[in-house]
Amino acid sequence: MESTFRDLGPCQKRVEVTISESEIQAAVERSFQEIRQQVALPGFRAGHVPRSVLEKRFGKQVRHEVLHDLLSNGISFGLDHHKLAPVDAPALENQEEGSDHHHIPASGPLTFAFTVDVAPEFEMPQYRGLTATRFEPVVEEADIQKFLQRFAERQASFEPVEDGQYVAGDLIIAEAELSVPGESTVVLGDNNVRFFAEDPEISRGVTLEFDAEDAGVQKLGTPREVTAQIGDDHPEEALRGRTARGTLTITEYKRRRIPTLTDEGAKEMGYDGIEGLRADVQRTLVSARAHAAEERCLEDLWNQILAGANIPLPSSLAARDFQHRKQVHALDLRIQHNLEEAEANKAVEEMSEEIKAKSERTLRTWFITEKIAAREKIFALDSDFELEYTNLAKRQRRKPSEVRSEYESNGNSEEVRESILRRKVNEFLLESATITKEVKPLEAGAEGASA
């Protein structure tokens, strides 16, 4: 085989491969020999079917399979010969199934070309001797109290209002029957509608014209006529944008009760009384804020590194990563905020510039991470993989061996290697930088944005 290549851009190469006629014929002959050993045809001894018979029965299939093998081997040869490290699958030119060029030539060599995106070459920015400030985590009494209050609120329950008097924020329990005038379909018929006056959506896409004042004057058990607007997210498209009318009978109010945290309650949750719970809260806050402080410090270091870097991105890789992030973000919106697909996609498009910037930053930090790892001899060792799979198994409540087997069989072990290298290179950056520590309260819930 012979091969040449030329640059199409900073991250794209065009490689041309020539496979000689003798190499083609040798490959075809090997394929026929393999078939001869495998097939059994009437009138011929096993392994002794004449080539002419094999040609007639299998010639077209053999040459098609040999062509694909030659193209695959030619791509591998071209990449190895020119020491190219692809970041995406090579794209063959004029070799679509059924095209005029997609066949083995009757005589002479086979010449084909492919383009491939490769990792960018760039001048490494400074990454040693950087400076950054790390804010030491400070947890004050007010922080603990705020956390405990949120903790208590999560234990809250809605209990019946004994005197039947409505107060803003109460949960309204009602019977409702709604329909669209002129339509036979009942929009809603439910004896256990639950909603808040502040958000009177009583079912998906059905919102009452109802507020806290209405709740305050309506007597329990007394039906009243109501109107509801049917939104664009209603399951039945024909009803969207219509107005429904009917009756609403409030049967009960329930009020949110937040429990008081006590020694006894804390012990029931497995703590050594209320003080044990407070101590655990403090440890949790300190740990979370220490992590946030480290993330901010790393973000500062990476900002300095990226500011000194000029890194072109492979177009196919950048486009693929961008699209993947948009799809993941849209799925998150649909799951977390219960959005319809069209709504989620619209929201993602509005954020596309932000998503694209994050995608490009992540790719550039990865290319730098790889070079730092190579220069500083930072490797993903077997012990690192064991630790990573153990941590993944804990989060998934599975055996580490099962997780590792799944990742390796699905071809995802490279993702684990990348995660390990990112972590170890980040640790190296923190160790090699001059970090000034400053005691300063860090906002609760603050998170860093390191690469």
Q: Can you give the pLDDT at residue 277?
A: 92
Give per-residue pLDDT as tens, 432-442. 999 999 886 55
Residues 180 and 251 in one domain: yes
Output the domain CATH number for residue 185: 3.10.50.30
Residues 297 and 417 in one domain: yes
Domain extent for 47: 2-117
Classify each residue of 93-121 as buried b or exposed e, where b means 16 or more C-beta atoms within 10 Å of its C-beta. eebeeeeeebebeeeeebebbbbbbbbbe
Decide: helix, strand or coil at residue 194: strand
pTM over 0.85: no
Count of domains observed in the chain: 3
Are 257 and 159 in contact by the 8 Å Cβ rule? The answer is yes
Give per-residue pLDDT as tens, 116-171. 999 999 999 999 999 999 988 888 999 999 999 998 888 899 999 999 899 999 99
Output the domain CATH number for residue 376: 1.10.3120.10
223 pLDDT exceeds 90? yes
Last residue of a domain, one of 117, 137, 171: 117
Distance CA 189, CA 309 (A): 63
DSSP 239: G
Are 197 and 172 in contact by the 8 Å Cβ rule? The answer is yes
Q: Can you give the pLDDT at residue 185?
A: 66
- Helix axes of 141-154 and 273-307: crossing angle, nearest 10 degrees: 110
Domain membership of residue 129 (yes or no) is: no
Domain membership of residue 449 (yes or no) is: no
Q: Can you give the pLDDT at residue 450?
A: 42
Residues 205 and 319 in one domain: no
Are 187 and 179 in contact by the 8 Å Cβ rule? The answer is yes
Q: Can you give the pLDDT at residue 443?
A: 55
Residues 97 and 12 in one domain: yes
Q: Residue 266: name the closest of 146, 143, 155 by CA.
A: 155
List all residues 6 or more positions away from 129 whose beta carbon is below 8 Å from its beta carbon. Answer: 432, 433, 434
7 φ/ψ angles, rounded to the nearest 5 degrees: -80, 135
Average pLDDT rounded to a whole number, residues 302-323: 95
Residues 297 and 429 in one domain: yes
93 pLDDT exceeds 60? yes
Lowest mean per-residue pLDDT among 230-239, 284-293, 354-363:
230-239
Output the domain CATH number for residue 113: 3.30.70.1050
Domain membership of residue 142 (yes or no) is: no
